[in-house]
Amino acid sequence: MDFGSEVIAWYGLNKRTLPWRDTRDPYLIWLSEIILQQTRVDQGLPYYLRFRDAYPSVHDLAAASEDEVLRLWQGLGYYSRGRNLHRTAKNVVADYDGSFPVNYETLIRLKGVGEYTAAAISSFAAGEARAVVDGNVFRLLSRYFGIDTPIDTGTGKREFTALANTLIAGHPPGLFNQAMMEFGSLQCRPKNPDCGICPVQAGCHAFRAGRVHELPVKKGKTAVRDRYFNYIVTDDDRGLLMNKRGSGDIWQNLYDFPLLETSGPLSPDRIVSSDAFRGLFGDRAVITGITGPVRHLLSHQRLHAVFIRIRNFDELFSGENGWFYAAKDHIPTLAKPKLIFAFLNNYPHLSS
C-alpha cells in the first residue's frame, strides 16, 4: 500500500465523527473551515452548531446584522474572521445569487478564503484534486519524508503543497485530505506522536533517523508586544458606559469600556489623578474597586488589563468619544471580547 492508502485506511478505523464531515454543502463546509482556523476542534464545535442552527443557509447569514454575528462569535477570538465571514456571505448572495461557489479558482477570490480553505471546500464539496495543507499535514509530511525546510516560510509552503498535490493523485480528494489532517492531528501529534502503533512507521524518515522531535522545523516565532490597558468601569445606576471599538486595532466593532492605554503599568491612583483621566471624568471620581492586572494573550500581543471601577464622575466625556450608556439588560446582547465578558461574569451586578 502506498503512503496515501495507508493513511486513508487508518482514517476509516480512527476518524472522529464530526458534523461537517457529513455534508457536501459548500456553505456549511466553508462555515466549519472559517470557525476552525486557529481553533481546536473541541472549542470550535459548539460555535459551528450555533451558527448552523442560527443561519442554515448563506442567505440567512447574509441577512443578519454584524452585531448579531459578532455576538454569536463572542469568545472565539480572531474577530476579523467573524466580520469576514459575514461580509463574504453578503458577497456570495450579491455576486453568486446565493449559490456558494465550489471550484477553487472562484473560491480563492472570496474574502477570508485562502489557499487552504479554497482547497478544503473544492475537494470536500466538488471532489477537486486540491491538497489541503494545514499544520497537521505540514507536520506529517515533514516527519514522514524527513523535510527540513521551515514550514513557516513561503518556500516551505510551496514545497509541502507541491508534495501533497502529488500524493493526492489516484485517491478520492476529499477523503485523502480529511485522512491526512486527521492522521496528523490524532496520530502524528506535535508532542508524543503514537509512533509505536503507527501504520506508516516503516517508511517514516523521522522515526528511522530518530528525528521525530526535531521536525517540523520553524524559522522563527513572531514577536509579542506588551500593551497596558486601564479600563474605566463606571459603576452607577445608569448602567455601564460602553465603547464601540473602531478600526485599525484589535477587536474592531466589539464593545468594551472606556480605555486609557499606557506605555507601562501604572497604579490605579495614578491613572485617576492623570490629566487624561481628569479630562474625561473630572476630578471628583472615587475608586470603588480594582480588578487585575489580568493577563490576556492574543496572537501577537500580550495585554495587561486593569479594571478600575469608579463613582462620582463628571460627564465631561459626552459626545466626544462615541461612548454610550448601555442599560444593564442590554449589555449581554453586545458582542464583547473575551477579556470583557470574563470580567462581567465575575461582577454579575454590573450587567443582568
Instruction: Point out which residues bind ligand SF4 (CB under 6 A).
Output: 140, 143-144, 187-188, 193-195, 198, 200-201, 204, 206-207, 212
Distance CA 295, CA 226 (A): 10
Closest distance between ligand SF4 and the C-beta of residue 204, in Å? 3
Residues in Cβ contact with 95 at an 8 Å cutoff, skipping those fewer than 6 apart: none
Residues identified as active-site: 33
Asked if 340 and 249 count as a contact pair (C-beta separation under 8 A), the reply is no
Closest distance between ligand SF4 and the C-beta of residue 142, in Å? 9
Distance CA 16, CA 68 (A): 31
Closest distance between ligand SF4 and the C-beta of residue 143, in Å? 4
Q: Which residue has the cell 472562484?
A: 106
> 248 vs 8, 178, 277, CA distance in Å?
44, 36, 23
What b-and-e string marks burial along 4-27, b requiring 16 or more CB atoms within 10 Å of the CB?
bebbbebbeeeeeeeebeeeebbb
> 130 vs 24, 106, 174, 183, 300, CA distance in Å?
16, 14, 9, 18, 31
The residue among 186 and 266 lying less far from ligand SF4, judged by its C-beta, is 186
Task: Count other Cβ atoms within 10 Å, centred on residue 262.
Answer: 16
The residue among 29 and 140 lying less far from ligand SF4, judged by its C-beta, is 140
The residue among 82 and 216 lying less far from ligand SF4, judged by its C-beta, is 216
Closest distance between ligand SF4 and the C-beta of residue 10, in Å? 10
